[in-house]
Amino acid sequence: MRFLLSLFASIFMANALAQTQQEMKAVYDDARTPYKYGLVVAPKDGDHMTDCPTVFRIGERWYMTYVIFDGKGYETWLSTSDDLLHWREVGCLLPFREGTWDKQQRAGFPAMTQWTWGSDNQGLGQCDGRYWMSYFGGENKGYEAQPLHIGMANVDAKAFEQKLRDGSRQLEWDVLDAPVLSPKDSTVQWWETGTHYKPLVYRDTARTLGHEYLLYYNAYGRHPETGLGAERIGLALSDDLRHWTRYAGNPVFHHEVKGTITGDAQIVKFREASANEPPLYVMFYFRAFDPSRPYAAYNTFSCSHDLIHWEDWQGDDLIWPTEAYDDLFSHKTFILKWQGVVYHFFCAVDKDMRRGIAVATSQDFGKSELHFPHPFRMGNGFTSHCVLQAGREVSIWGEAPVGATVDVTLAKKRFKVVADGHGRWEVRLPRQKPSVKPVKITATCNGESEEIIDVVFGDVWLAAGNAADTTNMQRLKLSAADTEVRMLLTPTSGEWTDWQLSPIRTHSKAKRVVGIISATAPGAKVNSFATESGKWQKILLRPMAPYAIRGILWYNNTAAPSNPELLQKAENYLRSLMDSPDAEFRK
């Protein structure tokens, strides 16, 4: 009898899943956008990144909020458009400020966007005559520097609309004095104890969950039983937008896979309830570092009948990397259907870590003429005090306007090259002998010059694996008395330091110089360094490849030894990536 009950239960669940997937096939067919138009908002230069679109109408115009990272933190900006394809910057809504809990991170997302699929009304909802915005904020400098908390901002709707009509750039919104949700709250739940990320608020007039306002947000935390760390999506509830209660059953949507990200939920009501069927809600979201995919990040969706229990779509993804401008990540969705056409906005990240807003559509509108800027610069790792590999040819590369000529000078030798169609240039320097005597390298393009000084030629080692290690000196058999060690922490530090991460001070007694490029990631798996789609090689190494090296230092701090076959695969791939086929491999 127990076997029969189990069999019937399995059959029932299989039928229910098939029915759900059949419903979701209708969502996929209606929401798919096979035509990538391209970038619609791009950063102004190589020092800024644009991210996280939210799109809505005020009056007869479209508006898009997005966040801009300037190397120090996030601000929230606004652009406008007549056709959803061509956008013009309007101003800043949440700029940096001083002396507050959110002074350096202010990434905002307008509340109460239209959630009815295909509605003719794509405006923002109001509460107390004001527009509202949820945002994540923090006081520390850096890319999404933790801890991050969730706050609420608002503005008088009529006054804001008048400013937009007048063309004013004084558009800053008011904010509540303190976060409304924080990983430091006494009521914090296990899945959000690390930090908070994107929050988005919806108004549910039906009060399906007993409250008018729903806030879906993703956060990082470790599972109390498995210890697995990941980003997951949860829910908070409110009746006034100022006071929020966490849903007791959080997280409401997640994937229990180590290192994966499930985030940035956009909720759409795809179907209203009827006498014969319940409502159908869609959660468009992005997933990153999913081991079942050959690419690092993509947009997909799940469905629910009650806003709490979500079923993943098992079919094709909606957006994934296919173009030069999104060949690293295609993620962070905002999707809408307007006058029969679907517009799927997403954050596009290329292999050089440039971020912009792109759109894909259900109707072919041709291709965007907007591209990432190609300012003249030298590539990652080529800064003053860098160490270049001695005894072999070395590539020096960077960016420049497409078709521009770049002159590179080393000592009295000059090299000339033309930037290719992607704005990349590269020259090969001849072999140099090991030397502690510093040299200068200068690159010039269209009257601009970049100069790096105190460049030395020695042995360069790549430190990779799943742990930082303080034994580099011993492993390389270096004597502090006669060896100067310089380090580069990839990819965000940008500057070479001494081995104690302090500014370079010339070692007067040094007979040789060794450079160490640190590309370790705590908890990383071997396969994340072993293939082109591997998570950590994409983040830590590809922005620097091919930086010539002498060898590879492999670190493994887990109790279990690395899989020999995977380790060999990682060894071969890292040599190929860094264009150093004879690199020594030490583990």
The pLDDT value given to residue 109: 98
In terms of average pLDDT, the best of 38-42, 256-260, 566-570 is: 38-42
CATH class for the region spanning 93-336 = mainly beta
Lowest mean pLDDT among 19-28, 51-60, 481-490: 481-490
Q: How far apart are CA 329 and CA 321, in angstroms?
A: 6
494 versus 320: which is more confidently predicted? 320
Digit-coded pLDDT (tens) for 146-171: 999 999 999 999 999 999 999 999 99
CA distances from 221 to 73, 258, 451 (A): 22, 11, 44
Residue 427 pLDDT greater than 90, yes or no: yes
The pLDDT value given to residue 360: 98
Give the pLDDT band (50/70/90) at residue 291: confident
Query: Average pLDDT in the 95-105 region?
Result: 95
Question: Among 167, 28, 169, which residue's Cα sits nearest to residue 92?
Answer: 169
Within 8 A by CB and 6+ apart from 91, the residues are: 77, 78, 168, 169, 170, 171
Mean pLDDT, the chain, whole residue set: 89
Residue 15 pLDDT greater than 70, yes or no: no
Q: CB burial class (10 A; 0-12, 13-18, 19+) of residue 469? A: middle
CA pseudo-torsion sign 440, 445, 446, 451: negative
Question: Among 356, 348, 350, 250, which residue's Cα sits nearest to residue 299?
Answer: 348
Residue 534 CB neighbour total at 10 angstroms: 24
Residue 379 pLDDT greater than 90, yes or no: no
Residue 429 CB neighbour total at 10 angstroms: 18
Lowest mean pLDDT among 27-31, 96-100, 539-543: 539-543
Phi then psi dihedrals of residue 287, to 5 deg: -130, 140
The pLDDT value given to residue 217: 98
The pLDDT value given to residue 453: 92
Residue 447 pLDDT greater than 80, yes or no: yes
Lowest mean pLDDT among 192-196, 262-266, 300-304, 547-551: 547-551
Report helix, strand or coil for 326. helix
Residue 474 pLDDT greater than 80, yes or no: no
Give the pLDDT band (50/70/90) at residue 411: confident
Digit-coded pLDDT (tens) for 122-139: 999 999 999 999 999 999
Residue 524 pLDDT greater than 80, yes or no: no
Query: Is residue 370 within 8 Å of residue 392, measured between CB atoms?
Result: no
Residue 8 pLDDT greater than 50, yes or no: no
Query: Average pLDDT in the 282-301 region?
Result: 93
Domain borders along the chain are 93-336, 377-586
The pLDDT value given to residue 480: 61
Query: Average pLDDT in the 308-316 region?
Result: 96
Give the pLDDT band (50/70/90) at residue 17: very low
Digit-coded pLDDT (tens) for 365-375: 999 999 888 78
Digit-coded pLDDT (tens) for 170-182: 999 999 999 999 9
Residue 549 pLDDT greater than 80, yes or no: yes
CATH class for the region spanning 377-586 = mainly beta
192 versus 555: which is more confidently predicted? 192
Give the pLDDT band (50/70/90) at residue 203: very high
Residue 493 pLDDT greater than 70, yes or no: no
| Residue type at 201 in one-letter notation | V
Fold match flag (93-336 vs 377-586): no
The pLDDT value given to residue 472: 56
Q: How far apart are CA 98 and CA 530, in angstroms?
A: 44
The pLDDT value given to residue 533: 66
Q: What is the pTM of this model?
A: 0.73
Residue 16 pLDDT greater than 50, yes or no: no
